[in-house]
Amino acid sequence: MDSNVEKILNDFGQRVTKLAKLNIKATRRVKNHKGKYVNKVINASGDLYKSVKYNVKVNPNSFSFDIEMLDYGVEVDEGRKAGGMEPLASSLARWIEKKPVRLRDINGQFVKMDALKIKSFISHLQYKIAKYGTSATNFLTEPFSEEFKKLPDSIIEAFSLGIDGFLEHALNEIK
């Protein structure tokens, strides 16, 4: 593989991660389980934003490209179907801490957060997520798909040249 493939893949990775990070910071209007539109911010703590990275490895006969992020990033991107396993209470507790969430009583007045109220709220969140799921944000899927369409044919040619070179090298080794 030549350095041109590495440059193309690095440019692709930079564009995809940049657009994904812009999407993470954006406020979106999505339908909730009641059919009402609400503003949704993906970037509650900033941890997911910081974790989005890409890796490119180019070897003489092959290349690899991957995007890495925190584990829950896949659920944020693809959404979560109703009925599945509930998210861990510890994950939700960290999210509540970083968000920060302020609870209200039945009259709409803010209440002091204590361990029991937080535990109750976490149980409520787990129930709602299990019952209704979460909507997909496609913060990574959309930019990846769009940028993938823009990859030049030269990368495909480079890949096929890489296969030819690999086969030639392998045949020479056998001889």
Which domain range does residue 58 map to?
Answer: 1-79+136-166
The letter for the amino acid at 108 is G
Cα separation of 115 and 96, whole Å? 12
Provide the 10 A C-beta neighbour count for residue 56.
17
Residue 89 within any structural domain of the chain:
yes
Q: Are residues 49 and 113 in the same domain?
A: no
Residue 171 within any structural domain of the chain:
no
Q: Are residues 145 and 73 in the same domain?
A: yes
In a 3-state reduction of DSSP, which class is residue 136? Answer: coil
Q: Are residues 108 and 58 in the same domain?
A: no
pTM above 0.75, yes or no: no
Residue 38 within any structural domain of the chain:
yes
Q: Are residues 43 and 126 in the same domain?
A: no
88-139 residue pLDDT tens? 788 888 888 877 788 888 898 999 888 898 898 899 888 888 888 888 889 9
Q: Are residues 50 and 129 in the same domain?
A: no
Q: What are the distances in angstroms from CA 10 to CA 2, 7, 56, 83? A: 13, 5, 7, 39
Residue 172 within any structural domain of the chain:
no
40 membership: H or E segment, kind and range:
strand 37-41
Cα separation of 8 and 4, whole Å? 6
User: How high is the pLDDT of residue 10?
Assistant: 93
Q: Are residues 36 and 73 in the same domain?
A: yes
> Could you say which DSSP state residue 104 is in?
B
49-60 residue pLDDT tens? 999 999 998 887
